[in-house]
Amino acid sequence: MLEMLINAIEELDEEKVLKIVKRCVAAGTPPKDIWMALNKGLEKVGLRYETGEYSIADLMVVGIIFENVLEYTNMCDIYDSIEAGEFGKTMLLGTVEGDIHDIGKSIFKGAMQAGGFIVRDLGVDVKAQDFVEAARKYKCEIIGLSAVLTDCIPSVKEVVDAFVEAGMRDQVKIIIGGCVANKTVSDFVGADAYTKSAIKGVEICQGWLKDEQK
């Protein structure tokens, strides 16, 4: 059933997506598994965008589908699998300049908060210097950069470079997420980590802070 859900997301079939999600919930499928399937579907939509098969409008449609699914399912149940912490550390989060996609970032924000972090969300289409200034202002130790569009990979690198130029790179950990997130991109931009899973992202960030406490 989860494979059907992935395919329905990829085809942007909102009615079918909601129908399958309802069946999954009724069958007792763990919310975390539902979310992972949705995430895989989103990745496939992103690939279709990169090949020119889908447009910006299609990416907006999948965002709406996600919002409707999240209204139906209980995201708190998904966050139950996250180990809660008392870190009290502040994470700075934002979608990089040139990208206006919000849904994945919003889910990651909720997951980080459930994991014991304070999150400062700068929103979408955020300039590199704005990340640096906000990190300095709020004394953030972790920077989360979201990007869906491959065209925005240079914007991700600009943020990392801006921290280097400001003399702050050794003071922060930078994690990238979204459809562009992979090892090649992470190495290219100079990030510390990457993830396409909100829950995995929280585990990475918690691991950094636990290492500090040793």
Task: Please write the tens of the pLDDT for every residue from 88-138.
Answer: 688 999 999 999 888 778 878 877 877 778 899 999 999 999 999 999 999
**What would the pLDDT profile of 52-81 be if each residue is shown by its tens digit?**
898 878 877 887 887 777 777 655 455 555
Q: What is the mean pLDDT of the chain?
A: 86
What's 84's DSSP letter? Answer: P
> In terms of DSSP bridges, do strands 90-95 and 193-195 run parallel, antiparallel, or are they unpaired?
unpaired
Tokens 């919002």 sit on residue: 67
Element (H, E) at 32: helix 31-50
Q: What would the two tokens of residue 114 be?
A: 């459930």
Is the domain of 100 the same as that of 170?
yes
Is the domain of 42 the same as that of 142?
no
The phi and psi torsions of 10 (rounded to 5 degrees) equal -60, -35
Is the domain of 97 the same as that of 199?
yes
Say whether pLDDT at 145 is over 70. yes
Cβ density class 122-157: b for 16+ within 10 Å, e for less: bebbbbbebbbebbeeeebbbbbbbbbbeebbebbb
Q: Give me the pLDDT at residue 85, please.
A: 52
CB 50 within 8 A of CB 84: no
C-alpha torsion sign, points 124, 130, 132, 133: negative
Q: Give me the pLDDT at residue 111, please.
A: 78
Domain-embedded: residue 110: yes
Is the domain of 123 the same as that of 208?
yes
- Identify the CATH number of the domain in which residue 110 sits: 3.40.50.280
- Angle, alpha carbons 96-170-179 (nearest 5°): 30
Is the domain of 108 the same as that of 206?
yes
Contacts (Cβ under 8 Å, ≥6 apart) of 13: none
Q: How far apart are CA 102 and CA 106, in angstroms?
A: 6
Name the least confident of 72-81, 152-161, 167-176, 178-187.
72-81
Domains in the chain: how many in total? Answer: 2
Domain-embedded: residue 84: no
Q: What is the mean pLDDT of residues 39-64?
A: 80
Domain containing 74 equals 2-79
Name the least confident of 16-20, 56-60, 71-75, 178-182.
71-75
CB 1 within 8 A of CB 16: no
Q: How far apart are CA 85 and CA 13, in angstroms?
A: 38
Q: Give me the pLDDT at residue 88, please.
A: 62
Is the domain of 51 the same as that of 94?
no
- Identify the CATH number of the domain in which residue 49 sits: 1.10.1240.10
